[in-house]
Amino acid sequence: MNPKSLTQQIKTVSIWKRGDKRAPHKPLLLLLALARVARGEQRLTPFEVLYSELEDLLINFGPQRKSYHPEYPFWRLQNDGNFWEIPEREKAIAARGTRVRKGDVPKNVLVEVKANAGFCLEAHQVLQQNQGLLFQIATYLLEEQFPPSMHEDIFAAIGMPRAYKRLGDLINNDFRSTMLRIYERRCCVCGFDGKLGNATVGLEAAHVKWRKAEGPDAPENGLLLCNFHHKMFDRGVMGITLGHQITVSQHLHGGERVKELILQFSGKRYHPPQNGFPRIAEEYIKWHSEEVFRFPARHF
């Protein structure tokens, strides 16, 4: 297997299959596996280890769901090319019997047959010998699935060594300057309007519906937020309602500073755009509420 073919196979792993619903299972499992190679660990990892690591990632970085099913990508990646191997495959298929629908193997069977998985031997060698390629693929997977404000956190969570090259500035400059202008260079939540000399500092253009989910670079899909509130918004700690109020997740805990920095804004309206510019469109607010925000909301 040559590096190009491996990259191609991983890039075409089927994701975003259900319209604009987030489905980061396979990319996150691949990222976990890539980090293992980068750390020089054994090629194959027991199902139960990957299951619990992937479940944590899905809970922390995936959309909120009733159940997460980390066993699906563990099994299904086999169908995305010839880079993913489960040596216990035949055993698992035999043990599965006719109890479940074709194409998947339930968690208990994977545990029962002591299944392992990892990159196949050739793919593993390509990645081991080519750390640059490994980081390039990992970065690609992140960029396809998550906004830039989350990249460092996810790399840290999967245990990716910090030797990777600095992630590029992915912010679209036109979108950013539009947001700065229509929101008058201050955070829509807290009003932060810091300047260093003449230059705005610590303010970012935020997409309500992520670009990864085909949210447009348009005023009706944007907010201007300080770095901190941008992070809280992308992580689903904060959301916005159809009535243009700020809402905060009940899952957020902390002390006095949490009150000062976030909770005090709950239930308040965020700063509107300058006259003549549209407010955020309903469809993008709904997407963020369903796919990003950590329900339930606090009520004050």
> Which of 86, 205 has the CB closer to Zn ion?
205
> Which of 113, 190 has the CB closer to Zn ion?
190
CB of 262 to Zn ion, least distance (A): 9
> Which of 105, 187 has the CB closer to Zn ion?
187
> Which of 123, 280 has the CB closer to Zn ion?
280
Return the closest-CA partner of residue 63 out of 19, 100, 12. 19
Using an 8 Å Cβ cutoff, are 45 and 12 in contact? no
> Which of 160, 190 has the CB closer to Zn ion?
190
The b-or-e profile of 144-165 (16+ CB within 10 A means b, else e) is ebbbbbbbeebbebbebeeebe
Could you tell me how far CA 260 lies from the centroid of its own chain?
Answer: 27
CB of 284 to Zn ion, least distance (A): 19
> Which of 24, 222 has the CB closer to Zn ion?
222
State how far the Cα of 137 lies from the Cα of 123, in Å rounded to an integer: 13
CB of 226 to Zn ion, least distance (A): 3
CB of 202 to Zn ion, least distance (A): 9
Sign of CA dihedral 166, 235, 254, 59: negative
Sign of CA dihedral 242, 180, 260, 237: positive
CB of 229 to Zn ion, least distance (A): 4
State how far the Cα of 230 lies from the Cα of 189, in Å rounded to an integer: 9
> Which of 96, 176 has the CB closer to Zn ion?
176
- Residues at the site binding Zn ion, with contacts judged by CB under 5 A: 187, 189-190, 192, 226, 229
> Which of 30, 225 has the CB closer to Zn ion?
225
State how far the Cα of 117 lies from the Cα of 238, in Å rounded to an integer: 37
Cβ atoms within 10 Å of 108's Cβ, excluding its own? 12
The C-alpha angle with vertex 121 and arms to 118 and 123, in degrees rounded to 5, equals 80
CB of 277 to Zn ion, least distance (A): 19
Q: Torsion angle of alpha carbons 14, 19, 22, 27, nearest 10°?
A: 10
CB of 239 to Zn ion, least distance (A): 15
CB of 246 to Zn ion, least distance (A): 10
What DSSP assignment string belongs to 122-139?
Answer: HHHHHHHT-HHHHHHHHH
